[in-house]
Amino acid sequence: MTDDSRNAQNPHVETELVVAHGIAALVALSIAAVFGLIVSLQFFLPDLTGSSLPLGWGRLRYAHTQGVMIAWLGNAFLAFLYHAVPMLSGQSVTSRKLGLWLFGIWNFAVVLPGWVLVLAGVSQPLEWAEFPLPVDAFVMVALALAAVQFLPAFFRRGLETLYVSSWYIIGALVFTFLSFPMGNVVPEFVPGAAGAAFSGLWIHDAVGLFVTPLALAILYFVIPASTGRPIFSHFLSMLGFWGLFFLYPLNGTHHYVYSVIPMAAQVGAIAASALLGVIVVIVVTNLLLSLRGAGLFPRDVALRFVALATIFYLVVSVQGAMQAQMSLQQAVHFTDWVVGHSHLAMLGFASFAGVGGLIHAWQRIPSARYNATALEVAFGLMTLGIVAMFVDLTLAGLTQAELWANGAPWLESVRDSERYWVTRTTSGVLLAAGFVAALTGLTTGPRGAGAQALQSAGGAPSTSAVTPRLAPASAGAGQALKMSYVVAGVAGIVFFAMSVTLLGVWPERVLATQAALMAPANPLGINAAEERGREIYAREGCAYCHTQQIRYTEADIARFGSPTLAWETRFDVPHLWGTRRIGPDLARAAGTRTENWHYVHLYAPRNVAPLSIMPSYAALFDGSPDRPTQAARDLVAYIETLGRARALAWPDADAAAAAAVPNDPWAQMAFAAPSLNAHPGRTQARGGAPALDNAAAAENGAELWDNYCVGCHGESGRGDGPAAQWLLPRPTNLAEHEYTLNRLTDALWNGVYGTSMPAWRDHSAANRAALAEVVLGFSEVEPGPTPSAAQLALGQNVYAQHCAECHGGGGSGDGFAANDLPIPVAPTDFRSQRIAYEAGVGVVENGVAGTSMAPWTDRLTTAEIEAVVHYVRSLFDGDN
Amino acid sequence: MITTIVVGCALALALAFTLAWLLKPQLRSQIEAPKHFFQDRVRQYDRGLEDASGASGGSADEA
């Protein structure tokens, strides 16, 4: 490739590096988009990639976001810097050789190994920081090399002559280097809530100190270069620059509003977010005024991308400032609203700026291929795609927020989201097609056609007269400006340090004190197997669907239980708090489900939860759920640690902690929660169920059955659902049982303790009544042979001798041994349920696997067995 | 306390910019100067490209 830009007047532009990074960027974007598409398809085709762990949802999700930020935007920004820095500074970059090293490290020591390692299961479960530590080290090296490559050019002339894009580039390279370790390294050493506080800093700094400044550098560069007119106000641009760099680092904690992180840090971050919104309005106003005269639809496609990026920046920033506010955050956090926000930031604002910048540079590389038609197509597809995706995910988020706030069953929010997820994938296809079109546009077509396209668009600036507009600065004023920039630069560093201190270091101290005050003596830790399970949980991205933090909100307390305290997260290195709830929060998962249920759920999730969209983890099993590998055992063991320490110490430890911090209203909110574990499916002892009224039953009983029960009990209630073969005790064959409404009311409210039959307390009384009706309708129990008086007398005698100790003298399941059974499944209450005669004989002869009911054929004769079955059937008294 | 610091510092920053704008008129032209320098550089660069393109025969090829 020739470099036609080499001439006596212009600084040397490393066009080969522009092209190399540019093509790498667009190839990476296309790959990252494919990762994203597969991930999005798995929301409604959860078995799409089978049980392949490398192609599992979590690993692909890690690869998608790191691909967009590091592989795509990182390369795109570097490409643009090679074009822009010589023009901004009037100087060449430091070294072409250094550029080759930087290209090599960025792509072959960061992007490729990062993707390979993440897909191989070596990663960090940290948002925007998923590449593992060794890769992070190379990112730091690359950032240092980038600083050496690009920054010296700016400092060879006075600070007072630096254009705003130069400031953004300097700021981005310096502050990204400083902030990158906050989210990528610190949480690997600082546990739990404190680690999350540091992680939150990076979640925002990644966007605010890396992506946004470099995208804005492109906007401030391309707009005047394309329109041929200077920006509206350099003063406003500098006000915006310093405002953004002061305020962005102070936003981080707004990702953990209503968490245990000190409220002062949360409110401070919220205030900074609101102020940031004001600054962004100033920035965007200045950019839009700079676009005046370019028209609503500029003919230069590069300018069009950049103009739309400006609009997206306004929308996403105002939205961000809004959603940081507590009232909105309470509702929409963890929903797809936030996912829509982040997509608009990264694939709308930043990517449109990135593509616009690349096209702008390409138009000025005579040796570069340029396909104008493909780029027009790219603009259309990308615009349609991102607008549709943003609107769709915003609506999805509002839908989820409403359902969660109303206490609807969790899976209803999953079911109602499906239409939005289908639309999201469709919009993603448009976006991905747009990315491929952009790649096509910059790799096909005639060489040098970019300049012609620019001329024909009428966007080429006049080059007829190059005369300085201003007289040279007076020495005094120039010195004052220089000093003010130096002062502001120092202040920027101070503000960054302040953000780390106020939102990272100080909260860590407060949380440590809080943990010391509130933790029980010697809380139970986790063992080696559980730690191994935690690593599996982390590498598979479980925390990206299931949060592990119950927030200090009424909705969270009602659905999940007492909010998470600081000491409960003390072993979480790195933390697994998560930022999205596709599945329910798991902070109190311990003791909520049976081990059996977990194995089936991991192996074939829809067998126990037909509406679930969880991926299958069959790869952790040796062919079936009853043959878990050590990895599956470890994973389930880890899940059973979530919330365990506090549950074991409860309620005494909570009472002591409450007394220790009487004036902490947030802590008191945790201790005043009605229940420690409010999971609506958690089984509990019989009793206390609100009465059901069959007259008020919902009409969709059959649908409810299909959605929630069919996996275990089967379509006709015979206990032959797809999960049944792996559950112990097996699901009840409802066709051979007759129940009282009270018994069903109790089972639906409390579940059946010790079995995989969960409670359904999150369903309305109308729904539970409808399900009870369905169950009653399954019964095929017939009167059976009529027993003689002698048989009943024999049966009563046998019962008194052998059965009453468990089932109670009156058959109510309340015998003296009922509470001390080796397998803690409550004995049957014969007064509220009656088994078919033949089935009853089978139970006595064979026992019930998975319960304490043993076979009796070695101790009872056939006549005795038949007699006792007749007797227990006679105990059934309907609803009387 | 954190909120006070954040809001206070942001206001101080805005105030400093505003006062500088109001009280130092000569600073206005100085602070605006870089956008013109940049514009000139862009023009110069594009003219350099045009010159180079003209010298080498110019039009896009299909290579």
Judge: B28–A235 Cβ closer than 8 Å, yes or no. yes
Q: For position A477, what pLDDT does the model report?
A: 61
Task: Provide, as residue numbers in chain A, all residues whose Cβ is less than 8 Å from the Cβ of B40.
Answer: 466-469
Closest partner residue to A4 among B1, B10, B52, by Cβ? B52
Give domain status of residue A502, yes or no: no
Q: Is A267 on the interface with B (CB under 8 A)?
A: yes
Q: How confident is the model over A549-580, as pLDDT tens digits?
A: 999 999 999 999 999 999 999 889 999 999 99
Judge: B52–A246 Cβ closer than 8 Å, yes or no. no
Q: Are residues A733 and A808 in the same domain?
A: no
Query: What residue spans define the domains of chain B?
Result: 25-54
Give domain status of residue A500, yes or no: no
Judge: A9–B48 Cβ closer than 8 Å, yes or no. yes
Q: Is the Cβ–Cβ distance between A457 and A212 less than 8 Å?
A: no
Q: Is the Cβ–Cβ distance between A842 and A850 less than 8 Å?
A: no
Q: A138 or A457, which is more confident?
A: A138
Does pLDDT of A466 surpass 90?
no
Does pLDDT of A704 surpass 80?
yes
Domain extent, residue A736, equals 694-778
Q: How confident is the model over A48-96, as pLDDT tens digits?
A: 999 899 999 999 999 999 999 999 999 999 999 999 999 999 999 999 9
User: How far is the C-alpha of A468 from the C-alpha of A228, rounded, in Å?
Assistant: 14
Give domain status of residue A732, yes or no: yes
How far away is chain B from the Cα of A459, in angstroms, using its nearest Cα? 12
Q: Average the pLDDT over A170-194 and give the result.
A: 94
Judge: B38–A224 Cβ closer than 8 Å, yes or no. yes
How far away is chain A from the Cα of B29, in angstroms, using its nearest Cα? 8
How far away is chain A from the Cα of B1, in angstroms, using its nearest Cα? 7
Does pLDDT of A5 surpass 70?
no
Amino acid symbol at A875: L
Q: How confident is the model over B10-49, as pLDDT tens digits?
A: 888 888 888 888 888 888 888 899 999 999 999 988 888 7
Does pLDDT of A538 surpass 60?
yes
Q: For position A155, what pLDDT does the model report?
A: 85
Give domain status of residue A258, yes or no: yes
Q: For position A880, what pLDDT does the model report?
A: 55
β pairing state of A737-739 and A833-835 = antiparallel
Q: Are residues A635 and A699 in the same domain?
A: no
How far away is chain A from the Cα of B36, in angstroms, using its nearest Cα? 6
Judge: A87–B20 Cβ closer than 8 Å, yes or no. no
Q: Is the Cβ–Cβ distance between A83 and A363 less than 8 Å?
A: no
Judge: A477–B38 Cβ closer than 8 Å, yes or no. no
Q: Are residues A598 and A638 in the same domain?
A: yes
How far away is chain A from the Cα of B26, in angstroms, using its nearest Cα? 7
Q: How confident is the model over A147-172, as pLDDT tens digits?
A: 999 999 998 777 778 999 999 999 99
Closest among A279, A239, A220 to B31, alpha carbons compared: A239
Q: How confident is the model over A330-370, as pLDDT tens digits?
A: 999 999 999 999 999 999 999 999 999 999 999 999 999 99
Closest partner residue to B36 among A90, A230, A502, by Cβ? A230
Q: Of A407, A424, A456, which closes a domain?
A: A456
Task: Provide, as residue numbers in chain B, all residues whose Cβ is less than 8 Å from the Cβ of A468.
Answer: 36-37, 40
Give domain status of residue A13, yes or no: no
Does pLDDT of A459 surpass 60?
no
**Helices A164-184, A475-500: inter-axial angle, 10-degree rounding:** 20
Residues 334-393 of A with CB under 8 A from B: 364, 366, 370
Q: How confident is the model over B6-15, as pLDDT tens digits?
A: 888 888 888 8
Closest among A432, A602, A539, A436 to A41, alpha carbons compared: A432
Q: Average the pLDDT over A822-843 and give the result.
A: 95
Q: Write down the residue that tokens 């239409």 correspond to.
A: A419
Query: What CATH number corresponds to the domain at position A645?
Result: 1.10.760.10
Give the DSSP H or E segment for A738.
strand A737-739
Distance (Å) of CA A263 to CA A506, A552, A566, A657: 12, 11, 13, 19
Q: Are residues A155 and A24 in the same domain?
A: yes
Give the residue on B whose Cα is nearest the Cα of A452. Answer: B60
User: How far is the C-alpha of A38 from the C-alpha of A28, rounded, in Å?
Assistant: 15
Does pLDDT of A468 surpass 60?
no
Judge: B38–A466 Cβ closer than 8 Å, yes or no. no
Q: Is A467 on the interface with B (CB under 8 A)?
A: yes
- Does a cis peptide bond (omega within 30 degrees of 0) precede residue A468? no
User: How far is the C-alpha of A334 from the C-alpha of A220, rounded, in Å?
Assistant: 34
Q: Are residues A644 and A698 in the same domain?
A: no
Q: Is A158 on the interface with B (CB under 8 A)?
A: no
Judge: B41–A90 Cβ closer than 8 Å, yes or no. yes
Q: How confident is the model over A487-536, as pLDDT tens digits?
A: 777 878 888 888 899 999 999 999 999 999 999 988 899 999 999 999 99
How far away is chain B from the Cα of A329, in angstroms, using its nearest Cα? 18
Q: How many residues does chain B have?
A: 63
Q: For position B63, what pLDDT does the model report?
A: 33
Q: Are residues A635 and A704 in the same domain?
A: no
Q: For position A879, what pLDDT does the model report?
A: 65
Percent of chain A with pLDDT over 90: 87
Q: Are residues A798 and A764 in the same domain?
A: no
Does pLDDT of A2 surpass 60?
no
Does pLDDT of A195 surpass 70?
yes
Q: Are residues A357 and A386 in the same domain?
A: yes
Q: Of A456, A478, A510, which closes a domain?
A: A456
Q: Are residues A732 and A804 in the same domain?
A: no
Task: Provide, as residue numbers in chain B, all residues whose Cβ is less than 8 Å from the Cβ of A466.
Answer: 40, 43-44, 47
Give domain status of residue A739, yes or no: yes
Q: Of A401, A421, A456, which closes a domain?
A: A456
- How many CB pairs lie under 8 A apart between chains A and B? 172
Q: Which of A304-308, A389-393, A780-784, A795-799 has the lowest mean pLDDT?
A: A780-784
Q: For position B62, what pLDDT does the model report?
A: 38
Q: Is A411 on the interface with B (CB under 8 A)?
A: no
Judge: B13–A243 Cβ closer than 8 Å, yes or no. yes
Query: What CATH number corresponds to the domain at position A249?
Result: 1.20.210.10
Does pLDDT of A289 surpass 70?
yes
Q: For position A693, what pLDDT does the model report?
A: 83
Q: For position B17, what pLDDT does the model report?
A: 83
Closest partner residue to B37 among A161, A275, A364, by Cβ? A161
Does pLDDT of A465 surpass 80?
no
Q: How confident is the model over A204-232, as pLDDT tens digits?
A: 999 999 999 999 999 999 999 999 999 99
Q: Are residues A156 and A234 in the same domain?
A: yes
Q: Are residues A811 and A773 in the same domain?
A: no
The residues, any chain, with a CB within 8 Å of residue A89's CB and separated by 6 or more, are A11, A153, A154, A156, A157, A166
User: Which of B6, B17, B50, B53 to probe by mutation at the A interface, max A CB count within 10 Å?
Assistant: B6
User: How far is the C-alpha of A774 from the C-alpha of A62, rounded, in Å?
Assistant: 43
Give domain status of residue A475, yes or no: no
Task: Provide, as residue numbers in chain A, all residues whose Cβ is less than 8 Å from the Cβ of B28.
Answer: 235
Q: For position A590, what pLDDT does the model report?
A: 95
Q: Average the pLDDT over A132-147 and give the result.
A: 98
Q: Is A9 on the interface with B (CB under 8 A)?
A: yes
Does pLDDT of A425 surpass 50?
yes
Alpha helices in A12-158 (DSSP H): 15-41, 57-66, 75-89, 96-105, 112-119, 133-155
Q: Is the Cβ–Cβ distance between A14 and A83 less than 8 Å?
A: no
Q: Are residues A767 and A855 in the same domain?
A: no
Give the residue on A whose Cα is nearest the Cα of B60. Answer: A448
Judge: B3–A247 Cβ closer than 8 Å, yes or no. no
Closest partner residue to B60 among A9, A233, A449, by Cβ? A449
Q: For position B30, what pLDDT does the model report?
A: 86
Q: How confident is the model over A655-702, as pLDDT tens digits?
A: 999 999 999 999 999 999 999 999 999 999 889 999 998 777 888 999
Give domain status of residue A474, yes or no: no
Closest partner residue to B45 among A87, A237, A467, by Cβ? A87
Does pLDDT of A3 surpass 70?
no
Does pLDDT of A836 surpass 90?
yes
Calculate the average pLDDT of chain A. Answer: 93
Judge: A235–B62 Cβ closer than 8 Å, yes or no. no
Judge: A5–B45 Cβ closer than 8 Å, yes or no. yes
Does pLDDT of A106 surpass 80?
yes
Please tell me the total count of domains within chain A.
4
Alpha helices in A120-262 (DSSP H): 133-155, 164-184, 192-205, 212-227, 234-247
By the 10 Å C-beta count (0-12 exposed, 13-18 middle, 19+ buried), A771 is classed as: buried
Q: How confident is the model over A244-268, as pLDDT tens digits?
A: 988 999 998 999 999 999 999 999 9
